[in-house]
């Protein structure tokens, strides 16, 4: 008789457009019910491999520095690793008391850091990538909108620190798309031209190519842009 093969349990990672998987968790800021506690706000849920590691330390200091900036964009930060609560607390205290990196020093992490010793949350979100590590979460970033829908996902390997300008740019770009019903082209930043939806019928396409739609610049019937003032975007998105 053949011995049955033991298969490793695989949990499918959530996809863009899915409801964010819900969970209750202990964090450095108390217990949270996710995503219920964050209704009406954007959330960046991100994982890191382990406490007391240098790349993660540089990232947490940077997130701490940018925390107010994300808050003004109606976005909360929530971190996760599979370390325990007391390890989290000790690490964050060490960051504040001892670590200096670039222009950052005495950085206090005020956003919650989830304890996930059982890896329950990390597995729900596909943060454990066995090809990279079976015992550490990769550097995942989930953008979750005010309705609890996953809007974007970025994954980085253990060795690669994240680009925080891109994380913030992606957040503002998605908020701009929602607010003004436009798309954002490659390398877009507030103040750059935005893309309008392609023409839905021949008449609209013809009007656009003849320059009859005011405010549009059309390279062809399907590729039209328009100006969107930077201040108009930021006034609509950012909270004082």
Binding positions for substrate are 139
What is the distance between the alpha carbons of residues 204 and 146, in angstroms, rounded to a whole number?
33
Q: What are phi and psi of 92, to 5 degrees?
A: -65, -35
Angle formed by the axes of helices 54-72 and 85-98, nearest 10°: 80
Q: Cis ω on the peptide bond leading into residue 35 (within 30° of 0)?
A: yes
Q: What are phi and psi of 68, to 5 degrees?
A: -65, -35
Q: Please say if 56 is a catalytic residue.
A: yes
What is the distance between the alpha carbons of residues 41 and 156, in angstroms, rounded to a whole number?
24
Cα dihedral 71→184→47→112 (10° resolution) = 10
Residues in binding site: 139
By annotation, the residues acting in catalysis are 56
């Amino acid at each position: 008789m053949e011995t049955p093969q033991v298969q490793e349990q695989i949990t499918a990672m959530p996809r863009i457009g899915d409801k964010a998987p819900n969970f209750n968790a202990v964090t450095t800021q108390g217990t949270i019910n996710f995503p219920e506690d964050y209704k009406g706000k954007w959330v960046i849920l991100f994982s890191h491999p382990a406490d007391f590691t240098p790349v993660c330390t540089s990232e947490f200091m940077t997130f701490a520095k940018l925390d107010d900036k994300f808050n003004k964009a109606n976005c909360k930060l929530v971190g996760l690793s599979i370390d325990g609560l007391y390890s989290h607390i000790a690490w964050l205290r060490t960051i504040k008391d001892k670590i200096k990196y670039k222009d950052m020093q005495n950085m206090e992490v005020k956003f919650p850091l989830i304890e996930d010793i059982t890896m329950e949350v990390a597995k729900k979100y596909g943060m454990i990538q066995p090809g990279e590590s079976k015992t550490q979460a990769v550097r995942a970033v989930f953008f979750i909108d005010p309705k609890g829908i996953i809007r974007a996902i970025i994954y980085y390997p253990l060795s690669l620190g994240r680009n925080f300008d891109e994380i913030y740019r992606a957040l503002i770009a998605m908020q701009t798309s929602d607010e003004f019903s436009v798309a954002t082209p490659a390398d877009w930043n507030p103040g750059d031209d935005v893309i309008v939806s392609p023409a839905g019928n021949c008449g609209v396409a013809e009007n656009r190519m003849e320059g009859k739609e005011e405010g549009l610049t059309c390279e062809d019937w399907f590729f039209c842009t328009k100006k969107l003032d930077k201040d108009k975007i930021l006034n609509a998105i950012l909270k004082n």
